[in-house]
Amino acid sequence: AQTVTQSQPEMSVQEAETVTLSCTYDTSESDYYLFWYKQPPSRQMILVIRQEAYKQQNATENRFSVNFQKAAKSFSLKISDSQLGDAAMYFCAYKGGGADGLTFGKGTHLIIQP
């Protein structure tokens, strides 16, 4: 079975600074997808960024970028120029190549200090 590990229960960063959230995963599949989701207090899951395993180039979405190290099975999220609205729970998630659901990590609570 696939597992997703987020080793940072909580992270704190000053507004406008850069923060990196870590995620590692374990799988024997060659075709899979990795995601970072944001869950604010409303609890609505919001997709932050997605990475296809077959793509070598790291995904980027505005201030959000990932460092995807396939051999190391590592998938970290970098948030640049942190904003107060970035404060939330962040979940790393894995999806196999078929019609599978998502396997989530335990999450990282991100605090933005003004």
Partner 1 sequence: GAVVSQHPSWVICKSGTSVKIECRSLDFQATTMFWYRQFPKQSLMLMATSNEGSKATYEQGVEKDKFLINHASLTLSTLTVTSAHPEDSSFYICSASPIPGLGPYEQYFGPGTRLTVT
Under the rule (CB under 8 A), what is the footprint of partner 1? 33, 35, 42-45, 50, 52, 91, 95, 97-107
Q: Is the Cβ of residue 18 or residue 55 nearer to partner 1 in the bound state?
A: 55
Q: Is the Cβ of residue 28 or residue 43 nearer to partner 1 in the bound state?
A: 43
Q: Is the Cβ of residue 39 or residue 65 nearer to partner 1 in the bound state?
A: 39
Q: How many residues does the chain have?
A: 114
**How many CB atoms within 10 Å of residue 30?**
9
For residue 70, the minimal CB distance to partner 1 (Å) is 16
For residue 17, the minimal CB distance to partner 1 (Å) is 25
φ and ψ at residue 29, rounded to 5 degrees: -80, 155
DSSP for 16-66? Answer: TS-EEE--EEE-S-SSEEEEEEEE-TT---EEEEEEETT--SPPEETTEEE
For residue 95, the minimal CB distance to partner 1 (Å) is 6
For residue 61, the minimal CB distance to partner 1 (Å) is 15
